[in-house]
Chain A
Amino acid sequence: MKNIRSSVALVSVCSVLLVATAAGQDSGDTDNGKQLYFDHACYSCHGYGGIGRRNIANNASGILVSEEVFITYLRARADQNPQFPTQTMPNYAASSLSDDDARDIYAFIRTLKDDPPEVDDIPALKGILEDAETGL
């Protein structure tokens, strides 16, 4: 059973990569995407710069491999009607977010970069670790 799952996962990854290769360059408008990222409150989970509850800066998420995968993922929860409030990824129906708009958001997200300093270059974090190591 484990081998079957591994095989399925491998095929899925290959498929994603093939799609990504076929997708080529991003076609969206990053400026419009930035506005839509705010309007549709993508920041609520992913932060204003792609760092949040779910990090997506630096193309960190697998759904960013292509526009098609991204749009398919956005439309993936249309049939859900949760009994309890949820903070998981919302559905983005074509009726409220067109494919073109989705491509713009995709293009914007792909520009999000995060290059934080190393711990040794952040005095506060380095100090916390040093205090523990020296027993202070």
Chain B
Amino acid sequence: MTKKSDENKPRISRRAFLGTGAAAGAASMLPAGPGAQAAPQAAGEATNAKVSPPSPEQMAREVGSALPPSLVERAAQRPGSDLMVQVLRDLEIEYVVSNPGSSFEGLQESIINYGEIPNVMPEFITALHEESAVDMAHGYARSEGKPICALIQGTIGLQHASMAIYQAFLGQVPMIVLVGREDKHFLQQHTADDVAALVRPFTKWDTHPQNIEETLDALQEAYRQSITPPCAPVVVIMDGHIGKEEAGDLRVPAYYPPVIPTITERQADKIAAGLASASNPRISVGRFRTPAGIDSAVELAELVGASTDSRSTSGPMSFPQTHPLTGPGVSTEYDFELGLEVPGAQASVTGPHLRTLDDRDLVGINFGNIRPPVRPTPDTSGDFDLTADAEASLPLIIEATKKRLNGQAKNAIAARTVSHTKANRDNRIAGLREAVESKRPGWNGSPVSLARIYAELWPLIKDLDWCLASPSIFSGRHHVDLWDHDRPYSYLGVYPAAALGYALGASTGAALAAKGRDRIVINIQGDGDFNYSPGSVWTAAHHNLPILTIMHNNRAYHMELMYLQFMAGVRGRGTDRAEIGTTFRDPYINYAKLAEGYGVKSEGPISDPNELSAALARGVESVSNGEPYLIDVLTQPR
């Protein structure tokens, strides 16, 4: 678990291997090494310092065979890292997910041993890759609407984590990335003067505290920054020696919550006037920050009898899909349309977008939503667009609306609600009739139809508290038609950066959120995505996470196979070689055996559709008992 080796012969660790000179990407941020100190440069002179190889002493420390120094300071009786853990505990941070490193052993020791041992608030979760750690924090945040921490090792861990941080940034999820740093006794390849620069273009905020007191403040501020819209990952650089220092009688500072921007009372009253005077109001609901936003939206919709558009089949934190008011309603001739975190025709309240963070793009990477979009976006602005947090603004709108509703209006609203309820129910049943008919083709085909996986899973989970954590865009999105998405976390949505390697880690993070909440997580897992960082399977086994992984094993990067097929076709050079570089053949991958090797119960590969339902039942039973399960299903491509 740690880098301390109990073996007789020294061995080269993964991190040490990188220390042999592969850290060129971070070289410009490295502090001056001994060689550079001997040749000071004039101000403004171009820097091109070479990275020195690690010294024998440094290598000995890295591989764990170093002797204790002859002179040591007495260990702190009340180490600073204990107070840091107390801050995280006070903020109700449930987990710190980490791939252990040699820059934060003081903090890690406090996480596992502070207070009642073993400490589980926050609980240390072992990830096998930094990208997995951040993806887990991402999946957790999407489920719960609040952050946990990813604890990352210096420059090398942060570079591993960077893709996942980028994805979390575009996903606008709250997350605190703690980055261990150590200058005094550390491989210089693992540290830098400005470590956060590696991810600054796609994080919201970062800081580098210099003592215990500053660190405690920094953790609280990181939390505030992360949960204040636009929500996003934030970074705290944690110098390892600070956590080992004596805190003495230092106290944890009082926490104060952030100020979430709302609309004004006057603006709320204008919206209330529109809703109250409309004969057929419409509310469109996007994604709120937390479940509290959903509760308020339901209250408002019921207050005015508005038919409501939900995004709950597209992502988390939206209006319940089967609420009686969800649907087009009795008429689509709406006379007042309000958007909550989405555009609205007459009014909308949407939080600030991360594009407002242009000024953080300090290193000129300039990509994604950090720059103006390449393709012009359509103008969806309404008559009264307000930039504020919808969730925090809803109580103002509700109160203003209540004041405007008299008895006559309430009677009209009651009648309207009855009409909407019947119309939406009829609409839903008509849609379901079409949907179930559309799922029949290929029902008995082998490999297994993806529609059949979703359809046969539903009766097994519909009475449970479930969360579909994996993006479904490549597996047919059949849950949209067949399942009921009524909870904040029913479906966690797509890949924010359209980048593979996310689903397994994010689903594992969702399972962290599910654990202890009598909830199970469904992960319908693409094989290409799985192979980026399969180690999260072990994390699920080690921490007994309720995650059912069903492999969508089509043995290909299927989208790319089709792209290549088209290209070869128009060039007339052979579509019979499009499998090169796009498929998993010779050999095929056996995911059931792979899971078994990681310690997760599994079965498959299943190619006979008649074996599917029983396997799914075994899987659901296992995860309902808190044990992860993997079913390898050979599937149709899409």
Contact = CB atoms under 8 A, between A and B. Distances in A.
Interface of A: 36, 39-41, 43-45, 47-49, 51-53, 55, 57, 77-82, 85-88, 90-97, 114, 116-119, 122-129, 131-133, 135
B569 A91 contact: yes
A125 B436 contact: yes
A40 B578 CA distance: 8
Contacts of A123: 459
Given A48-B636, A96-B572, A125-B455, A88 B443 contact: no
Contact of B572 (A40, A53, A91): A91
Given A96-B574, A127-B459, A82 B439 contact: no
A15 to B, nearest CB: 26
Contact of A93 (B441, B572, B636): B572
Given A48-B636, A125-B436, A132-B428, A116 B575 contact: no
A28 to B, nearest CB: 17
A86 B455 contact: no
Given A119-B436, A132-B429, A132-B432, A45 B562 contact: yes
A113 to B, nearest CB: 11
Contact of A90 (B444, B446, B575): B575
Interface residues of A: mostly helix, strand, loop or mixed? loop
Given A90-B566, A90-B569, A91-B569, A114 B442 contact: yes
Highest count of chain B CB atoms <10 Å: which of A77, A78, A129: A129
A39 B575 CA distance: 8
B576 A55 contact: no
Interface in B438-452: 439-447, 449, 452
A44 B436 contact: no
A121 to B, nearest CB: 10
26 contacts: A40-B565, A41-B576, A43-B637, A44-B561, A49-B442, A51-B442, A51-B445, A51-B636, A52-B636, A86-B566, A88-B566, A91-B572, A93-B569, A96-B573, A96-B575, A114-B442, A116-B441, A116-B443, A116-B444, A117-B443, A122-B436, A124-B613, A125-B436, A131-B462, A133-B429, A135-B425
A99 B568 CA distance: 18
Interchain residue pairs A-B with the least CB separation, the first 3: A93-B572, A90-B569, A51-B442
A70 to B, nearest CB: 15
B445 A96 contact: no
B374 interface: no
Contacts of A119: 436-437, 440
Highest count of chain B CB atoms <10 Å: which of A82, A94, A122, A128: A128
B575 A92 contact: yes
Contacts of A79: 570
B570 A44 contact: no
Contacts of A95: 572-573
A32 B73 CA distance: 78
Highest count of chain B CB atoms <10 Å: which of A51, A55, A78, A127: A51
Given A90-B570, A92-B569, A52 B638 contact: yes
Contacts of A82: 566, 570
Contacts, number: 143
Interface residues of B, number: 47
Given A47-B442, A47-B445, A129-B436, A41 B578 contact: yes
A39 B432 contact: no
Contacts of B444: 116-117
A126 to B, nearest CB: 8
A32 to B, nearest CB: 13
B270 interface: no
Highest count of chain B CB atoms <10 Å: which of A53, A81, A90: A90
A78 B437 CA distance: 36
A47 B637 contact: yes
B569 A124 contact: no
Given A47-B636, A52-B637, A133-B429, 17 more contacts: A39-B576, A40-B575, A41-B561, A44-B558, A45-B562, A52-B638, A55-B441, A79-B570, A86-B566, A87-B563, A90-B575, A92-B575, A93-B569, A116-B442, A117-B443, A122-B436, A132-B429
B220 to A, nearest CB: 46
B559 interface: yes
Nearest to A58: B441
Given A119-B436, A119-B437, A132-B432, A97 B445 contact: no
A41 B556 CA distance: 11
A96 B576 contact: yes
A54 to B, nearest CB: 10
B614 to A, nearest CB: 13
A38 to B, nearest CB: 9
Interface string B566-588: 11111011111011000000000
Contacts of B449: 51
A129 B185 CA distance: 66
A51 B439 CA distance: 11
Nearest to B476: A53
A44 B377 CA distance: 32
A87 B565 CA distance: 8
Given A44-B637, A90-B575, A124-B459, A116 B440 contact: yes
Contacts of A40: 565, 575-576, 578
Contact of B455 (A41, A94, A124, A135): A124
Contacts of B432: 128-129, 132
Contacts of A92: 569, 575
B440 A122 contact: yes
Nearest to B637: A44
Highest count of chain B CB atoms <10 Å: which of A44, A123, A135: A44
Contacts of B439: 125
A93 B573 CA distance: 8
B637 to A, nearest CB: 5
Contacts of A93: 569, 572-573
A78 B570 contact: yes
Contacts of A85: 559, 563, 566-567
A72 to B, nearest CB: 15
Contact of B570 (A52, A77, A116, A133): A77
A25 B574 CA distance: 28
Contact of B441 (A51, A87, A132): A51
